[in-house]
Amino acid sequence: MALLHVDGISTFYGNIQALRSISLSVEEGDIVTLIGANGAGKSTTLMSICGITSIRSGRVLLDGEDITHLSPNKIVERGIAQVPEGRRIFPQLTVTENLDMGAFLRRDTNGIKDDIDLVFSLFPRLAERRSQAGGTLSGGEQQMLAISRALMMRPRILLLDEPSLGLAPIFVQHIFEIITRINRERKTTIFLVEQNAHMALKIASKGYVLQNGAIKMEDTSERLLANEDVRKAYLGI
């Protein structure tokens, strides 16, 4: 049984249909990516999974449990954490205070301290800036903080929405290396939405191609990287 299974969901904004009966699965321990052009519905997919955008039909299952109509906070409690597009950190709070906000559902004080130490080991730049306001960090550092804040929830599955957006190439490479480390070392399952299709497919085991709100293709990442249509449309080859 997949850890996350999206079963034929359709989502609307008013009368405009954004998602058209899409289905996908993410196995525990995997990195799975969803690629597609701007406006294809990638972010809407994540927001539908998280309960932020209402699903008109279909269902979302987490480890076999139907979470389709749970509130967003209940979905977080079940173990799904999202790093939204644009980071959305708390700019007036320090790095450490942002991390504390990520652990707001937890009561294990010692465990929280250990996890702060862990994310500082993943992102030494954040350790150096632990007392600095989040809004004064660079774009790459803010992305590191957004990922770290989500990790403080100890999620079963981490949803990443365009983590490379707006970052300098050196930060893009570093972010994808860290995503791989989180998956390998923390055993965290990852569902990655990313416009940089080449980088996403290089670290994922499986990929889905979303076009106009519908899944048009699914395969192993290796096969999608070699697919002529994918190479022309999303890899610039």
Buried b or exposed e, range 40-51, using 16+ CB within 10 angstroms: bbbbbbbbbbbb
pLDDT at 237 over 70: no
Q: Are 153 and 76 in contact (CB under 8 A)?
A: yes
Q: By percentage, how much of the chain surpasses pLDDT 70?
A: 100
Is the pTM for the entire model greater than 0.95?
no
Residue 12 banded pLDDT, cuts 50, 70, 90: very high
**Paired residues of 206 in beta bridges:** 32, 220
SS3 94: strand
Measure Cα distances from 236 to 39, 73, 209, 223 in Å.
Answer: 18, 39, 15, 16
Q: Which domains does the chain have, with CATH numbers?
A: 1-79+156-237 (3.40.50.300), 90-154 (no CATH)
157-161 vs 55-62, strand pairing mode? unpaired
pLDDT of residue 185: 87
Give the separation between CA 23 and CA 105, rounded to whole angstroms. 30
Over residues 133-149, mean pLDDT: 90
pLDDT at 25 over 90: yes
pLDDT of residue 164: 85
**Paired residues of 35 in beta bridges:** 209
| CB neighbour list of residue 8: distance below 8 Å, 6 or more residues apart | 21, 22, 23, 57, 58, 59
